[in-house]
């Protein structure tokens, strides 16, 4: 193993994501159990206060501790992953250590050359957060529940997510897939009626027309509701062609795009309408899609830009979220032992399908992370994170969550990993 590969392996181990995927990269051995631990000190200028009924935020210096346990087993046809951990924070203001977030997750995948089944289950108990506002390509957003870095309220919430996917190859070019998921978010310190439930079920068919083009057809039903609020239903109708190819100017640059459409059952716009026995929903049609441009620079650097237009169902927000977003990221090695990850994103849209200032939604976010491998089992890191969001006055938000936020945070520390089992 060369020095660059060794450094990359250490950085992967130290990343310690708060969720695992049964299809993600893992230890190279068939059986591995290892512990990761991070300690950092920094400053956060807008963090949740101690009173869960108040949305006010505070600024303070923090010390963060992240112990995590990871397990992976891989056989000839099957793979199993599991992880658990906590984020503990010490505040000099209160002079106390508190559990900021706790998580656990398992993932499984297996099958034959023609059939693959994957299953993932995750749960975390943390401050209420709105990570769904931000594109997942931004560094740290996918780890929001486990890290607690995106918490926006002292209100504690229990998040659970289950998903199942089955892929079947019909021929060398044709494939079908069936998928389903179930998720919940329960705000523990207010009425039990503030539990959100989300469901997803659907299937797809794909056929490779050529090396660069794939025909797609599918349908996915998405539904989310709070038991005391209005229900949101989204019908995703997928019929189109995915196109991807290297640009003629450079084989190191690749472009891809895909189109989709959604039909949304928009909830009633007022409580009076919602209480009536008449139909309180209207159908809204939305054309969506993604466009991605990726450019490889040197041996390890990659520049990526993505545009996304979609309809989402977000935690703590009542109603469908219609948004257009742009994400840019740059990542690579500065040297054999040092890597840098930069990302930024902007999205704008509305809640409920009405394009008015009172229903608006706008978000900005950016992240920068620098890591340096110091030895076989430890590294130093420094990171900065910024995010901003704002809701219009007519947007219904569940619980004591701020309607607007502008937050900067920075921290530096060390990460360690210790293998307990390696076979």
For residue 408, the model assigns a pLDDT of 86
- Mean pLDDT, residues 79-93 taken together: 84
For residue 17, the model assigns a pLDDT of 42
Q: What is the pLDDT of residues 308-317, one digit of tens each?
A: 998 888 777 8
The residues, any chain, with a CB within 8 Å of residue 258's CB and separated by 6 or more, are 216, 240, 241, 242, 243, 289, 290
Q: What is the pLDDT of residues 308-366, one digit of tens each?
A: 998 888 777 888 889 899 999 999 999 999 999 999 999 898 888 777 888 888 888 89
Distance (Å, rounded) from C-alpha 365 to C-alpha 390?
12
- Mean pLDDT, residues 23-34 taken together: 60
| Candidate from 45-49, 152-156, 296-300 with smallest mean pLDDT | 45-49
Distance (Å, rounded) from C-alpha 29 to C-alpha 225?
43
Asked whether residue 92 carries a pLDDT value surpassing 70, the answer given is: no
Confirm if 178 and 165 have CB atoms less than 8 A apart.
yes
**Per-residue confidence at 159, pLDDT binned at 50, 70, 90?**
confident
Residue matched to tokens 């794909």: 206
Whole-structure pTM over 0.85, yes or no? no
- What dihedral do alpha carbons 305, 46, 191, 122 form, nearest 10°? 40
- What dihedral do alpha carbons 277, 184, 158, 318 form, nearest 10°? -40
Question: What does R_g of the chain's alpha carbons equal in angstroms?
Answer: 22
Nearest to 127 by CA among 101, 98, 105: 101
Nearest to 264 by CA among 296, 286, 280: 286
CB count in 10 Å sphere of residue 47? 22
DSSP conformation class of 92 = T
For residue 182, the model assigns a pLDDT of 93
β partners of residue 96? 91
Confirm if 255 and 245 have CB atoms less than 8 A apart.
yes
Distance (Å, rounded) from C-alpha 376 to C-alpha 14?
11
Q: Which residue has the higher pLDDT, 415 or 126?
A: 415
| Candidate from 71-80, 188-197, 232-241, 283-292 with smallest mean pLDDT | 188-197
Residue matched to tokens 């310690």: 16
Confirm if 36 and 14 have CB atoms less than 8 A apart.
yes
- Domains of the chain in sequence order: 3-422 (2.40.160)
């Amino acid at each position: 193993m060369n020095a660059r590969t060794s450094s990359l392996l250490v950085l992967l181990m130290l990343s310690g994501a708060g969720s695992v995927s049964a299809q993600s990269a893992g230890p190279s051995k068939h059986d591995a159990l290892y512990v990761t631990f991070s300690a950092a000190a920094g400053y956060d200028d807008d963090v949740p206060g101690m009173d869960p009924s108040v949305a006010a935020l505070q600024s303070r210096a923090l010390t963060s501790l992240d112990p995590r346990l990871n397990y992976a087993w891989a056989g000839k046809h099957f793979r199993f992953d599991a992880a658990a951990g906590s984020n503990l924070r010490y505040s000099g203001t209160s002079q106390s250590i508190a559990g900021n977030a706790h998580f656990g997750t398992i993932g499984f995948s297996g099958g034959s050359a023609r059939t693959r089944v994957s299953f993932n289950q995750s749960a975390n108990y943390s401050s209420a957060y709105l990570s769904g506002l931000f594109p997942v390509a931004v560094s740290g957003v996918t780890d929001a529940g486990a890290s607690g870095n995106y918490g926006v309220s002292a209100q504690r919430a229990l998040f659970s997510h289950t998903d199942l996917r089955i892929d079947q190859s019909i021929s060398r070019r044709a494939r079908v897939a069936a998928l389903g998921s179930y998720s919940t978010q329960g705000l523990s310190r207010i009425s039990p009626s503030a539990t959100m439930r989300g469901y997803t079920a659907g299937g797809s068919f794909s056929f490779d027309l050529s090396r660069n083009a794939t025909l797609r057809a599918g349908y996915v039903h998405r539904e989310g509701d709070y038991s005391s609020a209005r229900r949101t239903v989204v019908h995703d109708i997928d019929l189109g062609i995915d196109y991807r190819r290297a640009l003629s100017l450079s084989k190191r640059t690749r472009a891809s795009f895909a189109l989709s459409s959604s039909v949304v059952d928009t909830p009633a716009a007022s409580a009076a309408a919602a209480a009536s026995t008449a139909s309180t929903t209207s159908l809204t049609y939305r054309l969506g899609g993604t466009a991605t441009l990726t450019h490889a620079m040197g041996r390890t650097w990659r520049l990526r830009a993505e545009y996304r237009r979609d309809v989402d169902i977000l935690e703590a927000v009542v109603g469908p979220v219609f948004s257009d977003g742009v994400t840019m990221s740059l990542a690579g090695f500065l040297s054999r032992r040092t890597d840098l990850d930069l990302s930024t994103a902007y999205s704008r849209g509305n809640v409920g399908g009405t394009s008015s200032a009172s229903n608006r939604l706008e978000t900005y976010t950016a992240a920068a992370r620098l890591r340096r491998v110091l030895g076989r089992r430890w590294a130093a890191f420094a990171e900065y994170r910024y995010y901003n969001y704002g809701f219009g006055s007519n947007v219904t938000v569940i619980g004591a969550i701020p309607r607007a936020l502008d937050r900067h945070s920075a921290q530096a520390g060390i990460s360690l990993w210790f293998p307990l089992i390696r076979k």
